Structure 1
Amino acid sequence: MTIPGFDYQHVPVADGVSLHAAIGGTGTPIVLLHGFPQTHLMWRHVATALAAEHTVICPDLRGYGESDKPAGTDPQTYSKRTMAADIVALCGKLGHERFALAGHDRGALVAFRAGLDHPAAVSHLACLDVLPTLDMWQVMHGVSASVGFHLYLMAQPAGLPEQMIANSADAFFGYFLDAWGAGITADVRAEYLRASAAAVPSIVADYRASATVDVEQDQADLDAGATLRMPVTVIQQDWGAALGFDAAQLWRRWSPDLRHLTTKAGHFMAEEAPEEITAAIRELVARDPAPQPPAD
């Protein structure tokens, strides 16, 4: 499946790794990163709307969709730092040294890391329905943490998680597609299941990195007082209050220029409420960017 009106490229971004990306529209660039268990197709409605004013780039993250899936034996292979560097390299190859960046779920964690590591490249940042990795692990406790059972499963050493998930891939990935919200049509759901079943080892490696190197890198940045220098919009379900923490407060320690929004849509908000998400991204990129820091 493809996004109507978009062209597709397979772009080398690192040694032995190319990203599959849909590209459409003209104007200042916006990059849209998908979440789990999805591909770039989750942005199809938002991307086509934004393409009226912007060049829109929708890649499959490394390890997902039609992008390359290197073996995850080294935790750094699927660290969000590595995956963020992929996105900066992708945009550079396409001629964009500075761009707005929006991510959902796993893609939001990659976008968050890109904002910290590459402030010269990211002019505006949107993160949908996620907490930074460090905060996520810190707030999950007791029975409320059962909603994140998959995080604990995929954090285990290599072997058992991959075997369990591969043996029941449609049931495993389908559970999240059905339980987390609306807006996913049957044909798109089938495509997500196909793509996820073909990517079990790399998806697990992505999640395993979030229980190891990603936490370490977030903690190091927090200890150093690092913050996101660009305008940031965070859009979340109102699950923070239900789970006993203030999501906006957690985000504010990372972002001095934060607009925190809640939505009545479910987790798959870009598919369930695309007009609302498109409007929020348009409002974000209309804000004045932070002064561009020196290049890395």
Structure 2
Amino acid sequence: MSASATPFTPLRSVLYMPSSNGRALEKAKSIACDGLILDLEDAVAPDAKTAARDAAAAAVASGAYGRRTVTIRVNGLGTPWHDADLEAAAQAGPAGIVVPKVNSADEVRGLVAAIERAGAPDHTRLWAMVETPQAIFDAREIAAASDRLAVLVMGTNDLVKELYAEHVPGRGPLLTALQTAVLAARAAGVEILDGVYNDVQDTDGFLAECRQGRELGFDGKTLIHPGQVPGANEAFAPGEQAVEDARGILAAWEAGQGAGVVTYQGRMVENLHVESARRTLAIHESILALQA
């Protein structure tokens, strides 16, 4: 689903939760995040993988998470758990199946075929994690490989590792990769989520990275702690002034049809401004509906 599609589904804050932790899964029901990634990969020890898989599938089937977008992150291609994870996730029918380290369009097509063979319902989409140099080079092809792919998810920790780079304020070493991935997502009409911020005690640094992600064009941010949810929700939501301006632009446009030149507060209004205003209001109204 493209960012301009209707209805719009907010993904401002998407929180990783370990599926091996029953208390965490229960707590997630009351966290005001837009989405959840029930994790079977990094957050789960090898001897807990099977139990975590069963718990994630049961959590999805419970319907207890309200309007949140609930997904399952499976273990990656080539791991001993991948096939069973993918089959169980497909049969559980979450909003999305998150697959780490997707490196090519062929892998996307193979994953989609496997999801469909396992009987996934139509609403279960593929979320592909982009976290290697190869994935960045092939990001456009990955994003456009299948209509079933709905979201790109940046895996910034793995990308830093693969680049032999460092985590620094402003993310200079990652900017080329981040911008390339956003370009790919927009060209393909899919959503894209920024990577996680590791220091849960550094609120200022986290909020700065949220602002940067929003300025770069990301739809939201993946999170590792519930305390990060409010900051992401605010950063990736239209502000009051943006909503007011969007309404004013649309009112001026509708009032001025046929007038040749339409202005709002002294600024010329064109089709591109109208499209942006409509998207802003779609996001705003969807957030209000989610909160209600």
TM over 0.5, shorter chain: no
Higher relative contact order (CA 8 A, sep 6+): 1
- TM-score computed with the length of structure 1 as normaliser: 0.32
Tell me which structure has the larger Cα radius of gyration.
2
